[in-house]
Amino acid sequence: MFMKFKFILIACILSSLNVLSQIKHGLRDELGRHIIPRGFVVNTNDGGGEVFFNSDDYARMVRMGANTQVVRLELGKLSDFSGGQLEPKYLLKLDSLVAMGRNSGIKTVFKMTVYGVDEFKWETFWQNKKNEYNTYIDAWKVIWNRYAEDPSVLGYDVVNEPRKLTMDISYSDLTKQYLIPLYQKIIYESQKINSNKKILFQSIFMNKGEKIDNNQYAEITAPINRENIIFAPHIYQDNIDYIKRNMDRFDKESDMLKAPILIGEWGFPTFATTDTLIEGKLGQLKYRELYIRTAEVFDLMGVGSIKAWFLGNRTMQHFLSGGPSTWSIFSDSTDAGTVERKYITDVISRPFPQSIAGDIQSFLFNHATRTLNLNIKSDNSKGPSKIFIGANRHYPDGFSIIINKDFILYYNPLKNVGLETYRAPIGTNPSDYIWDEKSQKLIILKWPFDKEELNLKIVPGIRNF
């Protein structure tokens, strides 16, 4: 009897290693480290056709700070909806994206879009007269079963930007009567396959012209009452005065839902003219200011964020009054793209704590001073910590690491000898700090003081104190 209990206990412990337990905000990984997911939406196609990536593209993602990718699924290649069918070659493509992410230290979230079917009508879908819900869930089951035992697959963003359109119903009633019950049904079916995977969810995308505080995403007003859920709102805010107000509303919803926030998509699209226009309403300086303010609000809240899109500029959208626009972060016309829109990518790729052994209490990157300020409570039992620095773009003149004002290391890119020590208190070990040039990360094997509150700063220059 004792041995049976022992085996059950061991099995429970091993199972718990796959759990990324949630806190507000951020997540806990399998070692119990506080992690901040950040990365890019990865498309499998765009208006120009299929999109393909290789390992070099993933190396670039890592060097831009990515530790998470959101892969957009095409419903038409996974389901029996009209015009759709399961395509085995598509599944192999997804396998490739997951593997390249895994090999680069990037977790994967899958997001379902309704692309690829003959005609998807939300009004018909909500009525569910032909068991549309089951057909939709069956498409998800293909993914859930395929990646059930892959720990690099973090979870599933189950319905992308659901709509009301012509239905004669309020957004609140649509949410309570249709959206929340659908989420509960999806979560139930998913967790029968693997209850440890995270379920990400969104609110209703309001009809064109219908906004509240310049926010086109309707408020969720009813709880889901499920475990292992993440609130994944989108924010494409172009009015700098509304960014914090929108995020405060999301924060309120997060409290009610008892779910941490991971921004599933963000970043107002750039216009064709922005690449050449420096100043003005649609100029690069305006975009940089807008993105910096958004990034500051994210960081002060401690939320993770996924930027759309990691793509080249093969196609443009034509739905905004400013003219042709795109979410692509590269301006050249190749699949993955290589020519960065630096006025936004430098903000996207800002320094931040990726995984911390302990609790992140606050962090913020000041773009004006190029200073990352991080406050934590350390816990060395949780393993190594990783901080993305992005020295290649933010600190070409080198950088210094200051912990509690009296432990100081620095990196001189001209010498290329790794981190050097300026000052180290007795009992600390500078060799616990490693600069990984390839991934542009600072790896901390052990904090100098355990179970204590620490302040860490990354500042530009060498011995700049």
Looking at 283, 318, 349, which one is the last position of a domain? 349
Whether residues 283 and 181 share a domain: the answer is: yes
Does the bond joining 144 to the residue before it have cis omega, within 30 degrees of 0? no
Mean pLDDT value of segment 109-136: 96
Decide if pLDDT at 325 tops 70.
yes
Least Cα distance to 259 among 187, 323, 200, 197 occurs for 200
Residue of 12 and 351 predicted with greater confidence: 351
What is the per-residue pLDDT across 387-438, written as a single tens digit (0 to 9) for each?
Answer: 999 999 999 999 999 999 899 999 999 998 999 999 999 989 999 999 999 9
What is the per-residue pLDDT across 210-264, written as a single tens digit (0 to 9) for each?
Answer: 999 999 999 999 999 999 999 999 999 999 999 999 999 999 999 999 999 999 9
Q: What is the CATH number of the domain that holds 232?
A: 3.20.20.80
Mean pLDDT of the chain: 93
Q: What is the CATH number of the domain that holds 370?
A: 2.60.40
Whether residues 252 and 113 share a domain: the answer is: yes
Whether residues 120 and 192 share a domain: the answer is: yes
The count of structural domains within the chain is 2
pTM confidence score? 0.94
| C-alpha dist (Å) from residue 447 to 165, 356, 410, 430 | 53, 10, 16, 10
Single-letter amino acid, residue 14: L
Whether residues 240 and 385 share a domain: the answer is: no
Whether residues 261 and 283 share a domain: the answer is: yes
Query: What is the side-by-side order of every strand in the sheet holding 433-436?
Result: 27-28, 34-35, 352-356, 385-388, 441-444, 433-436
Six token digits for residue 432:
């616990």
What is the per-residue pLDDT across 266-293, written as a single tens digit (0 to 9) for each?
Answer: 999 999 999 999 999 889 999 999 999 9
Whether residues 179 and 295 share a domain: the answer is: yes
Query: Taking a C-beta distance cutoff of 8 angstroms, is the pair 109, 155 a contact?
Result: yes
Rounded Cα–Cα distance for residues 419 and 325 (Å): 43
What share of the chain in percent tops pLDDT 90? Answer: 89
In a domain, 12, yes or no: no
pLDDT band at 20 (very low <50, low <70, confident <90, very high): low
Domain, as residue range, for 412: 358-460
Whether residues 342 and 366 share a domain: the answer is: no
H helix runs in 147-240, sequence order: 171-174, 180-193
Could you tell me whether strands 304-307 and 262-266 are parallel, antiparallel, or unpaired per DSSP bridges?
Answer: parallel
Decide if pLDDT at 343 tops 60.
yes
Decide if pLDDT at 13 tops 70.
no
305 phi/psi in degrees, rounded to 5: -155, 140
- Would you give the DSSP letter of residue 261? B
